[in-house]
């Protein structure tokens, strides 16, 4: 399991959506307070769902097709999360006193999407290798 590169990518995805949002704020409010994802229930649900799908994908390492589909679903979920962040940052731009500085936490879904795409690429490579070996039998 751990010797496969897609598992490493999935562990990095787990770090990006499961642990790093607790550390890095999404943005900093004008009064200097950090806005973490825990302050919005919808963000908590989306990050939690993404983390759960990532853990499921790591556990289902023997079923490559299921892992591939779970990663695709996770990519869509992270795109929705990224879209919400972009929508929020465009609607509450620098002119309003609500948001003064964007945080690194807004870019965590991009990092997760990159790792998920790399994991899917490695899963596809493994699946092609297994199919080519099956043809030789």
Closest CA to 81 of 121, 120, 119, 54: 54
Label residue 100 by pLDDT band (50, 70, 90).
low
23 CB-contact burial (10 Å; exposed 0-12 / middle 13-18 / buried 19+):
exposed
Look at residue 46 in the predicted model and tell me its pLDDT. 93
Look at residue 9 in the predicted model and tell me its pLDDT. 95
The pLDDT of residue 65 is above 80: yes
Residue 24 C-beta-side C-alpha neighbours within 13 Å: 17
Look at residue 122 in the predicted model and tell me its pLDDT. 93
pTM: 0.87
Label residue 110 by pLDDT band (50, 70, 90).
very high
Task: Please enumerate in sequence order all residues whose Cβ is within 8 A of that of 41, keeping only pairs 6 or more positions apart, or say none.
Answer: none
């Amino acid at each position: 399991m751990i010797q496969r590169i897609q598992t490493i990518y999935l562990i990095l995805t787990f770090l990006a959506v499961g642990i790093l949002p607790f550390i890095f704020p999404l943005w900093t409010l004008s009064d200097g307070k950090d806005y973490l994802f825990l302050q919005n229930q919808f963000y908590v649900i989306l990050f939690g769902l993404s983390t759960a799908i990532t853990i499921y994908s790591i556990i289902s390492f023997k079923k490559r097709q299921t892992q591939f589909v779970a990663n695709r679903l996770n990519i869509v979920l992270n795109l929705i999360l990224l879209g919400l962040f972009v929508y929020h940052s465009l609607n509450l731009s620098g002119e309003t006193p609500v948001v003064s500085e964007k945080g690194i936490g807004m870019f965590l879904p991009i990092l997760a999407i990159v790792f998920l795409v790399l994991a899917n690429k490695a899963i596809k490579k493994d699946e092609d290798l297994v199919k080519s070996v099956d043809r030789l039998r």
